[in-house]
Amino acid sequence: MFVVKYRPKSLKDFVNQKEALAKFINWYNSWRPGEKAALLYGKPGVGKTCLVEAFANDKNLQLIQMNASDTRSRKQIEEIFVNASQSLPIFKKGKIFLVDEVDGIAGREDVGGIQAIVDLIKKTRYPVVLTANDVYDQKLRAIREYCELIELKPLTVWDVEKKLKEICEKEGIEYEKEVLNMIAKRSDGDLRAAINDLETLVSGRKKISLKDLEILGYREREREMFEALKILFKTTSLMGAKMSISNVDLEPDTIFWWIEENIPNEYEKPEEIAEAFERLAKADLFRARIIHRNYWKLLRYFNDLMTAGVSLAKKDVYRKFTKYSFPSKLRYLSTTKDERGEEKEFLLKLSKILNCSTKKIRKEFNPYFQIFQKDSSFLEYIQKLKNQ
């Protein structure tokens, strides 16, 4: 993925954030055991984690990291950090600890996590860095007094556009300048989102234009969907789950695929995952009847099953931070739009010649066409037909 391939390996590759970088380097250079940790905060995609990783590479430091998706109980934090904080690095000049998305710590699964981090900051022989989206979250009150706060601001459109241009040039992709500018504007300062959008746009292409932007959903709608998923999966209220999608400006079919993609991201118990997919499957039956029989009165059952049905499949709320994913099915349909359009156009030409439907050609004739492809004269005929 582009976000991994072009992740900054050094601070020289880091995009902007000069003020935050200067504060971070000054904090590190003046840090002594028992002093404050650094708490990097800002919107997603502004480079909080990347900054620490790039800095560790530059300084040849061993990075001990706890990811946002981990359950961060006192026991786990102590297992990962406490032993490492007392030992010397073998192949590196030093160590640096990173607790990512610390504002995701909450609930019974993370019991004692906040206090364990405070104890780590007080006792460790090595610097500790925390990251958070919302530094003023109520549950971080106990941590803030032990941290030096360093804000990473949203990147400018120019900064994001410059990085996208660099990626396109390295990948050999031709582009219209307005395309990169539009992607940068839609990202709202989130470089990771902009790079993901670019990768979606260029998949299967070596040239992109303004017209290709149609395959991208608006970033505002995607943010709405992330918030809706958070409510849907975390609530224990039937009405709350049903109302979670009320303000989402997306078609019910699209919402269905968002929920389907993220059930395994949220639920951990096999029986809960199975129950959630069972209810989603029943919703899909209503969806099929709506489409094939035009029974729109069934839409309310479809919506109730895919929201309240899936939400109430869990026994307890998972009080953890969950990174929700864009539906792989929708991404695939977006990236293959041109290819599928060409196929549809070709099938329509064949349907006129063979006097039958495109569905019949795809189902009954295609297997024979695959056999005939060994015949060069048949291939010449097909190519001629495509060019007509």
Tens place of pLDDT per residue across the chain (388 aa): 788 888 888 888 887 888 999 999 999 999 998 899 999 998 888 889 999 999 999 999 988 888 644 556 777 787 778 777 767 777 778 889 998 888 777 545 455 778 888 888 888 888 999 998 888 877 788 888 899 999 998 889 999 999 999 999 988 988 888 889 888 888 888 888 888 888 878 877 788 887 777 666 555 566 678 888 988 998 888 888 888 887 777 788 889 999 999 999 999 899 999 999 999 999 999 999 988 888 888 888 999 999 999 999 998 888 777 888 888 887 777 777 777 777 788 778 777 877 888 888 778 877 777 666 666 666 566 666 666 6
- pLDDT at residue 28, as a whole number: 94
- pLDDT at residue 264, as a whole number: 92
pTM tops 0.85, yes or no? no
In which residue are the tokens 């990347």 written? 50
- pLDDT at residue 72, as a whole number: 64
- pLDDT at residue 111, as a whole number: 57
Buried b / exposed e over 274-312, threshold 16 CB at 10 Å, is ebbbebbeebbebbeebeeeeeeebeebbbbbbbbbbbb
State the distance between the two ends of the chain, measured CA to CA, in whole angstroms.
38
CA atoms within 13 A on the CB side of 144: 11
Q: Rounded to 10 degrees, what is the CA torsion of 264, 268, 270, 271? A: -100
